[in-house]
Amino acid sequence: MSATPAEVGYGRGAAILSVGVGVTGLVTYAYFALASHSLSESEYGGITLLWSAVFVTVSVLYRPVEQLLSRTIADRAARGATDGSHLRVAATIQLALGIVFVVAALALRGPLQDDLFGGSQTLYWVLIVTVLAYAVSYFARGFLAGSRRFGLYGGLVLMEAVSRCLFPLAVAVGIASGQSVVALGIAAAPIASLAVVPWALGRRISAGAATASADVEPAGQALSEQEASEARLLDEAAAGEPGGEPRFTLSHGAGFAVAVLAIMLAEQTFLNAGPLIVKATTDGPSGAALAGFTFNVLLIARAPLQLFQAIQTSILPHLTRLRAGGESDPFRRSVDLTLIAIAGFAACVALAMLALGPWLMDLVFGGDLAYDRLGLVLISLGMGLYLAAATLNQALLARARARAACACWLVAAVAYVGFLLLPGFDDRVLQVEVGYAGAALVLSSLLYALYRGSH
């Protein structure tokens, strides 16, 4: 069966993003490799803790609005809605979340600066500035994804990664020195990437809602008469009155955002709980060093997420549009093909780690601690299961099953943290590796069962 125009558009968008985001992943690897070789183990551990704190915070706070915008813009474009209420609602939620963060960060300055960052004022203020800058960055990402402006999206994240990497590069070649310079790169990155935002949003405002809706659909992908008819019926059902557009209120947007916020919290638990718990339960300077080592191991799972952003970013608006048009078969095919591609990729990574894992990790990161081959394979398999879960999650969000998906994420995240806190493990890194793979298996199984039951 030949691909539909929508499926072709999804594949083209994912391909465009894959180039930019794939390069972004390599540049992110370079950032940590340069930092690892330029700083002491303790200083590098502080950088990884700052990174974890930043991306736990911004992913939990701001990715819900990114997902809200991505889904809503695509849905409203498919239905022919033209008002800008969704942008106002999303901006209001984002502003409120930024204010909440600032108040909490100032109130918790002591624990953050002294306990987490070892008394470093620089790391503390870098945290605040970076998180606030990402509020605008993630709003722009959601708008660009929902509008299918994938070239601009890829340019934004690539500019962010390159500007960040310049700072440890300056330290490595001797232009600058110290942990503070490397940390400043984390703050500079989202600020530099905002060069894309004024142009992108200015174009949206000047063009107007009608032009923006036309930009969403590439040439040859306009809704068919049948799709348009289905969209009008869905509009009337959503609005509760004949001929009306779907209402998008603050309570509507906040309900979706809260569910996705909980999902993002669980997601960041998967990605960052390991290093943070290792640091918290290991005494002395060795705790930061072991946390940095654990972080390096989990980069096997983290780095593919950079590339997977291309799929994750493009699949939600794509699936949302298919659902709005009642195209159930292309919906299922898109999900199935993505899962097959993930399985093949994870198998290749696991085989590479089995053959060359310890040597590759030593080459890239150095250090005195030895990487366990079996543990690296476990992380690779867990990465595949996690990416499959993330794909199923996007399908469920497109089907308006955010709350049910949220419950699956919370169950798996609690199980993961509970396992990491179990006593009796002499090898803390192996405990993280086993826990990550097992929790990813639980999560993907729960989401798959929910997805199958939602047909």
Tokens, residue 115: 């306990």
Domain hosting residue 55, numbered range: 5-453
CB 44 within 8 A of CB 293: no
Tokens, residue 245: 């557009």
What does the radius of gyration of the chain's CA atoms come to, in whole angstroms?
Answer: 22
- Is the overall model pTM greater than 0.75, yes or no? no
Q: What pLDDT score does 285 carry?
A: 59
pLDDT band at 236 (very low <50, low <70, confident <90, very high): very low
Angle at alpha carbon of residue 392, lines to 305 and 348, rounded to 5°? 45
Q: How far apart are CA 231 and CA 218, in angstroms?
A: 18
What is the number of residues in the chain?
Answer: 455
Q: How far apart are CA 207 and CA 200, in angstroms?
A: 11
Q: What pLDDT score does 18 carry?
A: 64
CB 42 within 8 A of CB 288: yes
What DSSP assignment string belongs to 113-179?
Answer: IIIISTT-HHHHHHHHHHHHHHHHHHHHHHHHHHTT-HHHHHHHHHHHHHHHHHHHHHHHTTSS-SH
85 Cβ neighbours under 8 A, 6+ residues apart: 247, 248, 249
Helix (H, G, I), strand (E, B) or coil at 313: helix
Least confident of 42-46, 102-106, 349-353: 42-46
Above pLDDT 90, what percent of the chain? Answer: 28
Least confident of 44-53, 188-197, 394-403, 406-415: 188-197
Q: How far apart are CA 224 and CA 325, in angstroms?
A: 9
Q: Which residue has the higher pLDDT, 401 or 409?
A: 409
Least confident of 39-53, 180-194, 224-238, 385-399: 224-238
Nearest CA to 162 out of 27, 49, 327 is that of 27
Query: Average pLDDT of the chain?
Result: 80
Whether the predicted pLDDT of 244 surpasses 50: no
Backbone angles phi, psi at 105, to 5 degrees: -65, -40
Mean pLDDT calculated for residue range 365-374: 76
Q: How far apart are CA 451 and CA 392, in angstroms?
A: 7
Q: What pLDDT score does 95 carry?
A: 92
pLDDT band at 307 (very low <50, low <70, confident <90, very high): low
CB 391 within 8 A of CB 447: no
Q: How far apart are CA 421 and CA 274, in angstroms?
A: 10
Whether the predicted pLDDT of 443 surpasses 90: yes
174 Cβ neighbours under 8 A, 6+ residues apart: none
Mean pLDDT calculated for residue range 137-160: 85
Count of domains forming the chain: 1
Q: What pLDDT score does 390 carry?
A: 92
Q: Which residue has the higher pLDDT, 229 or 408?
A: 408
Mean pLDDT calculated for residue range 274-291: 76
pLDDT band at 134 (very low <50, low <70, confident <90, very high): very high
